[in-house]
Homo-oligomer: A and B are copies of this chain.
Amino acid sequence: MTEHQAAAPPEPATGGVIELLGLLAYASLVAFFRLADDASLATELSDKADLAEMAVAQFGHFQLLSGHISELGANPQQAMRPFVEPIDEFHARTAPSDWLEGLVKAYVGDGIAADFYRVIAELLDEQTRTIVLTVLADSGHSQFVITRVRGAIAADPAVAGRLALWARRLVGEALSQAQRVAAEREQLAALLAGGSAAQLGEIGRMFAALTDAHAQRMSALGLAD
């Protein structure tokens, strides 16, 4: 090993990576609580159990992500703290008023999270990428939602318009909180932009890709978007 080689080791975990993991960990923890809460809107025991299963998957993600933060030598509570306000605000603004809205929110949230994990996996160091891909592989608990929502629309077509509006509002609120986070957290924005905080256009393109994937999910649900 020469001096020169030793001077260029694999990049250590940057502040941006810790911030990203903190954001994802807190988002997962809150998703756990929100899904468990929304499941209580279900009247059928089997529906309750299905949504509870999605909640439990989110808690597994939280454990993986916060475990990785600790492994990187950072404090998970501290890493999550900056994201408490924007994520809590998102959920406060998007409390489902009934079971169907809860289902759509679970499905939309799960889908956007999976897309986001897929995009960021490429930007991360090997070890963090493995964690993110593990979380990603555990997604897909929301497939049962498609049957339920399509069934509800078949029974009452008027439901489709209301749920499509609801889904659009969910994405709007998510994007507005995401832009706020990107603006406030420079290191995180730099990481997502692939190295330069100035490349905020990159983040815009990432959001655009996520929005496209969202439109496809809306079709799957039978909701024209």
Cross-chain contact A77 with B45 (CB below 8 angstroms) = yes
Which of B52, B62, B84 has a CB less than 8 Å from the CB of A49? B62
Which of A33-41, A103-111, A112-120, A194-202 contacts its partner? A33-41
Chain B residues contacting A40 (CB-CB under 8 Å) are: 33, 37
Query: What are the interface flags for A82-93 relative to B under an 8 Å C-beta threshold, 1 for contact and 0 otherwise?
Result: 001000000000
Chain B residues contacting A55 (CB-CB under 8 Å) are: 36, 59
The answer, yes or no, to whether A80 is at the interface (CB within 8 Å) is yes
Chain B residues contacting A52 (CB-CB under 8 Å) are: 29, 32-33, 59, 62
Residue of B whose beta carbon sits closest to that of A55 = B36
The answer, yes or no, to whether A2 is at the interface (CB within 8 Å) is no
Chain B residues contacting A45 (CB-CB under 8 Å) are: 26, 29, 76-77, 80-81, 84
Counting every copy of the chain, the complex holds 2
The answer, yes or no, to whether A48 is at the interface (CB within 8 Å) is yes
Cross-chain contact B48 with A53 (CB below 8 angstroms) = no
The answer, yes or no, to whether A153 is at the interface (CB within 8 Å) is no
Query: What are the interface flags for A14-50 relative to B under an 8 Å C-beta threshold, 1 for contact and 0 otherwise?
Result: 0000000000001001001100110110001110110
Additional A-B contacts beyond A29-B52, A45-B81, A52-B59 (15; CB < 8 A): A26-B45, A29-B48, A29-B49, A33-B48, A36-B36, A36-B37, A37-B37, A37-B40, A44-B77, A45-B77, A45-B80, A46-B77, A49-B66, A56-B56, A56-B60
Binding site for B on A (CB under 8 A): 26, 29, 32-33, 36-37, 39-40, 44-46, 48-49, 52-53, 55-56, 59-60, 62-63, 66, 76-77, 80-81, 84
Q: List 14 A-B contacts (CB under 8 A).
A: A29-B48, A32-B52, A33-B36, A33-B40, A45-B76, A45-B77, A45-B80, A49-B66, A52-B59, A52-B62, A53-B59, A53-B63, A55-B59, A56-B59
